[in-house]
Structure 1
Amino acid sequence: MNNEPAPARRAVEAAWRIEWPQLVAGLTRVVGDIDTAEEFAQDAHVAALEQWPREGVPANPGGWLMSVAKRRAIDRFRRDATFARKLALLGRDLLDEQRSGFPGADANIGTGISDDMLRMIFTTCHPALPRQARVALTLRMVGGLTTEEIARAYVVTKSTAAQRIVRAKRIIKTLRIPYEVPEESELAARVDAVLEVIYLIFNEGYAASSGEDWMRGELCDDALRLARILTVLLPTEPEVHGLAALLELQASRLDARSDAARRLVPLPDQDRSRWDQLLIRRGFAALGRAHATARQRGAPPGPYALQAAIAAAHASARTPEDTDWQRIAGLYAILAQRFPSPVIELNRAVAITMVHGPTAGLELVDAVEETGMLDSYHLLHAVRADLLARLGRHAEARREFIRAAELTANAAEQSHLRARAEDCAKPDPG
Structure 2
Amino acid sequence: MTARERLRKWAGVAAETALSLLLVLVLFWLFILFLFAVFPSGTPLKELVSESGEASPLARSGVKRPEAALQSLVRDVRCRRGDSVAWGDASEGMLLYNRDAIQTFDRSGATISFAPGDALAMGSNSMVVVTRLNETLEGGPKSYRVHVEGELRGSFSAEKRVRLEVATVGHLARVVPGRSRFTFTPLGDNASSLTVHAGEVRVQGEDGVIRVPARFGVTLRRGVPVGPALPLPGSPKLKNENLLYRYRQLPPRVRFNWTGGEGVYHFQLSDEPRFRKVLLDSRVSGTEFAAGLLDAGSYYWRVSRIEDGREGPFSRTGRCRLQQLLDPPRLLVEFPPSTVGIGSFRLTGRCQPGSTVYVNGTAGSMGDDGSFSHEIELKSGVNLIRVEAVDQAGNASYASRVVYGKE
Q: TM-score, normalised by structure 2?
A: 0.23
More strand by share: 2
Higher RCO (C-alpha 8 Å, min separation 6): 1
Which has the greater radius of gyration? 2
More helix by share: 1
Q: TM-score, normalised by structure 1?
A: 0.22
